[in-house]
Protein backbone atom coordinates (compact mmCIF):
# COMPACT_ATOMS: atom_id res chain seq x y z
CA UNK A 1 0.00 0.00 0.00
CA UNK A 2 1.40 3.32 -1.11
CA UNK A 3 1.75 6.62 0.73
CA UNK A 4 2.63 9.68 -1.35
CA UNK A 5 4.41 12.80 -0.07
CA UNK A 6 4.04 15.90 -2.24
CA UNK A 7 4.64 19.63 -1.82
CA UNK A 8 3.38 21.14 -5.05
CA UNK A 9 1.26 20.58 -8.14
CA UNK A 10 1.00 16.82 -7.74
CA UNK A 11 1.11 15.81 -11.41
CA UNK A 12 3.21 12.76 -10.46
CA UNK A 13 0.65 11.84 -7.80
CA UNK A 14 -1.98 12.11 -10.56
CA UNK A 15 0.02 9.72 -12.74
CA UNK A 16 0.15 7.18 -9.89
CA UNK A 17 -3.61 7.50 -9.37
CA UNK A 18 -4.33 7.26 -13.10
CA UNK A 19 -2.24 4.06 -13.23
CA UNK A 20 -4.58 2.53 -10.64
CA UNK A 21 -1.83 2.02 -8.07
CA UNK A 22 -2.94 1.42 -4.46
CA UNK A 23 -2.38 4.91 -3.02
CA UNK A 24 -3.99 4.95 0.44
CA UNK A 25 -2.60 8.17 1.95
CA UNK A 26 -1.26 11.51 0.69
CA UNK A 27 0.70 13.84 2.98
CA UNK A 28 2.32 17.22 2.43
CA UNK A 29 4.55 19.64 4.30
CA UNK A 30 2.23 22.39 2.97
CA UNK A 31 -1.43 22.63 3.85
CA UNK A 32 -2.08 24.56 0.61
CA UNK A 33 -0.38 22.07 -1.75
CA UNK A 34 -2.45 21.50 -4.90
CA UNK A 35 -1.45 17.83 -4.69
CA UNK A 36 -3.74 17.35 -1.68
CA UNK A 37 -6.75 18.39 -3.76
CA UNK A 38 -6.06 15.57 -6.25
CA UNK A 39 -6.47 12.86 -3.61
CA UNK A 40 -10.26 12.62 -3.84
CA UNK A 41 -11.46 10.10 -1.23
CA UNK A 42 -7.94 9.12 -0.24
CA UNK A 43 -6.82 10.17 3.26
CA UNK A 44 -4.78 13.39 3.31
CA UNK A 45 -2.85 15.27 5.99
CA UNK A 46 -0.49 18.24 6.27
CA UNK A 47 2.59 18.14 8.49
CA UNK A 48 3.88 21.72 8.50
CA UNK A 49 7.31 22.06 10.08
CA UNK A 50 6.29 25.16 12.04
CA UNK A 51 3.81 23.06 14.02
CA UNK A 52 6.55 20.82 15.47
CA UNK A 53 9.57 21.60 17.62
CA UNK A 54 11.99 19.97 15.16
CA UNK A 55 12.25 17.86 11.99
CA UNK A 56 12.56 14.53 13.83
CA UNK A 57 9.30 15.18 15.64
CA UNK A 58 7.51 16.15 12.41
CA UNK A 59 8.93 13.16 10.52
CA UNK A 60 7.93 10.78 13.34
CA UNK A 61 4.36 12.12 13.30
CA UNK A 62 4.21 11.72 9.52
CA UNK A 63 5.58 8.14 9.67
CA UNK A 64 3.06 7.27 12.42
CA UNK A 65 0.20 8.62 10.29
CA UNK A 66 1.31 6.71 7.18
CA UNK A 67 1.71 3.50 9.16
CA UNK A 68 -1.75 3.91 10.66
CA UNK A 69 -3.04 3.93 7.08
CA UNK A 70 -1.21 0.70 6.27
CA UNK A 71 1.49 2.27 4.10
CA UNK A 72 4.41 0.00 3.24
CA UNK A 73 5.91 1.96 0.30
CA UNK A 74 6.42 5.74 0.32
CA UNK A 75 6.68 7.71 -2.93
CA UNK A 76 8.07 11.25 -2.91
CA UNK A 77 6.31 13.01 -5.78
CA UNK A 78 7.73 16.52 -5.66
CA UNK A 79 8.28 16.48 -1.88
CA UNK A 80 10.58 19.42 -1.20
CA UNK A 81 11.93 18.66 2.30
CA UNK A 82 14.73 16.28 3.26
CA UNK A 83 13.61 13.31 5.37
CA UNK A 84 15.45 12.45 8.59
CA UNK A 85 16.35 8.94 9.75
CA UNK A 86 13.37 9.24 12.15
CA UNK A 87 11.27 8.74 9.00
CA UNK A 88 13.54 6.69 6.73
CA UNK A 89 14.26 4.01 9.37
CA UNK A 90 10.53 3.29 9.54
CA UNK A 91 10.36 2.35 5.83
CA UNK A 92 13.69 0.64 5.08
CA UNK A 93 14.45 0.46 1.33
CA UNK A 94 10.87 1.51 0.70
CA UNK A 95 11.06 5.27 0.06
CA UNK A 96 11.46 6.34 -3.59
CA UNK A 97 11.82 9.74 -5.22
CA UNK A 98 11.50 11.11 -8.73
CA UNK A 99 13.93 13.83 -9.80
CA UNK A 100 14.12 15.96 -12.98
CA UNK A 101 17.71 15.24 -14.04
CA UNK A 102 20.01 12.36 -14.85
CA UNK A 103 21.36 11.87 -11.33
CA UNK A 104 24.01 12.04 -9.96
CA UNK A 105 24.16 15.16 -12.16
CA UNK A 106 22.16 18.17 -10.95
CA UNK A 107 20.71 17.13 -7.59
CA UNK A 108 18.73 19.67 -5.56
CA UNK A 109 15.71 21.91 -5.84
CA UNK A 110 16.85 23.94 -8.88
CA UNK A 111 17.87 21.10 -11.17
CA UNK A 112 15.96 22.26 -14.26
CA UNK A 113 17.28 25.85 -14.17
CA UNK A 114 20.83 24.63 -13.46
CA UNK A 115 20.76 22.25 -16.44
CA UNK A 116 19.75 25.09 -18.78
CA UNK A 117 22.46 27.36 -17.35
CA UNK A 118 25.04 24.60 -17.83
CA UNK A 119 24.07 24.31 -21.51
CA UNK A 120 23.84 20.51 -21.54
CA UNK A 121 22.33 18.76 -24.59
CA UNK A 122 20.50 16.01 -22.74
CA UNK A 123 18.42 15.87 -19.58
CA UNK A 124 16.07 13.27 -18.17
CA UNK A 125 14.30 11.86 -15.15
CA UNK A 126 15.56 9.57 -12.40
CA UNK A 127 13.69 7.36 -9.95
CA UNK A 128 15.84 6.42 -6.95
CA UNK A 129 15.71 5.07 -3.43
CA UNK A 130 15.90 7.81 -0.80
CA UNK A 131 18.58 8.23 1.83
CA UNK A 132 19.35 11.22 4.06
CA UNK A 133 21.29 13.04 1.33
CA UNK A 134 20.03 15.38 -1.37
CA UNK A 135 18.81 13.15 -4.24
CA UNK A 136 21.64 10.75 -3.46
CA UNK A 137 20.18 7.25 -2.95
CA UNK A 138 20.66 4.23 -5.27
CA UNK A 139 19.26 4.78 -8.78
CA UNK A 140 16.45 2.46 -9.90
CA UNK A 141 15.67 3.85 -13.37
CA UNK A 142 16.43 6.73 -15.71
CA UNK A 143 15.12 7.99 -19.02
CA UNK A 144 16.57 10.72 -21.25
CA UNK A 145 15.11 13.73 -23.04
CA UNK A 146 16.81 16.23 -25.34
CA UNK A 147 17.34 19.83 -24.27
CA UNK A 148 16.19 21.96 -27.22
CA UNK A 149 17.51 25.37 -28.21
CA UNK A 150 15.06 27.97 -27.00
CA UNK A 151 14.00 25.82 -24.03
CA UNK A 152 12.87 27.73 -20.95
CA UNK A 153 12.71 26.15 -17.49
CA UNK A 154 8.99 25.64 -18.11
CA UNK A 155 9.30 23.90 -21.51
CA UNK A 156 12.17 21.67 -20.37
CA UNK A 157 10.44 20.76 -17.11
CA UNK A 158 7.24 19.90 -19.03
CA UNK A 159 9.22 17.54 -21.32
CA UNK A 160 10.87 15.90 -18.31
CA UNK A 161 7.56 15.55 -16.48
CA UNK A 162 6.06 13.71 -19.47
CA UNK A 163 8.73 11.06 -18.88
CA UNK A 164 8.30 11.09 -15.10
CA UNK A 165 4.60 10.37 -15.48
CA UNK A 166 5.40 7.12 -17.32
CA UNK A 167 8.59 6.12 -15.49
CA UNK A 168 7.43 6.63 -11.88
CA UNK A 169 4.24 4.49 -12.07
CA UNK A 170 6.17 1.73 -13.87
CA UNK A 171 8.89 1.53 -11.21
CA UNK A 172 6.41 1.87 -8.32
CA UNK A 173 4.39 -1.00 -9.80
CA UNK A 174 7.56 -3.13 -9.94
CA UNK A 175 8.33 -2.28 -6.30
CA UNK A 176 4.79 -3.23 -5.28
CA UNK A 177 5.27 -6.62 -6.92
CA UNK A 178 8.56 -7.47 -5.15
C1 LIG B 1 8.89 16.81 -10.49
O2 LIG B 1 9.60 17.33 -11.58
C3 LIG B 1 9.77 15.92 -9.66
O4 LIG B 1 10.76 15.29 -10.39
C5 LIG B 1 10.41 16.91 -8.71
O6 LIG B 1 9.38 17.82 -8.41
C7 LIG B 1 8.48 17.88 -9.50
C8 LIG B 1 7.12 17.63 -8.92
O9 LIG B 1 6.09 17.88 -9.83
N10 LIG B 1 10.97 16.24 -7.55
P11 LIG B 1 4.59 17.50 -9.48
O12 LIG B 1 4.23 18.17 -8.16
O13 LIG B 1 4.48 16.00 -9.40
O14 LIG B 1 3.78 18.07 -10.60
Residue 168 has pLDDT above 90, yes or no: yes
Closest ligand 1 atom, residue 9 Cα:
12
pLDDT digits (tens, 9 = 90+) for 75-104: 999 999 999 999 999 999 999 999 999 999
Residue 178 has pLDDT above 90, yes or no: no
CA of 137 to the centre of ligand 1 (A): 17
- pLDDT computed for residue 69 by the predictor: 98
Average pLDDT over residues 49-72: 98
Return d(Cα 168, Cα 124) in angstroms, integer: 13
CA of 68 to the centre of ligand 1 (A): 26
Q: Tell me what the pLDDT averaged over the chain comes to.
A: 97
Closest ligand 1 atom, residue 79 Cα:
10
CA of 46 to the centre of ligand 1 (A): 18
Q: From atom 14 of ligand 1, which residue's Cα is the shortest distance away? A: 11
Catalytic, 69? Answer no
* C-beta 168 within 6 A of ligand 1: no
pLDDT digits (tens, 9 = 90+) for 100-155: 999 999 999 999 999 999 999 999 999 999 999 999 999 999 999 999 999 999 99
* C-beta 100 within 6 A of ligand 1: yes
Considering 81, 99, 128, 157, which one is annotated as catalytic? 99
Return d(Cα 10, Cα 42) in angstroms, integer: 14
Amino acid sequence: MIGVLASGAGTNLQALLDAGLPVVAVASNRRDATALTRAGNIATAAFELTEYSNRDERDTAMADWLEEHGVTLVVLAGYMHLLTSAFLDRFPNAVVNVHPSLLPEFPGAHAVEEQLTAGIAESGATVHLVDEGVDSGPILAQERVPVLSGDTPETLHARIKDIEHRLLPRIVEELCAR
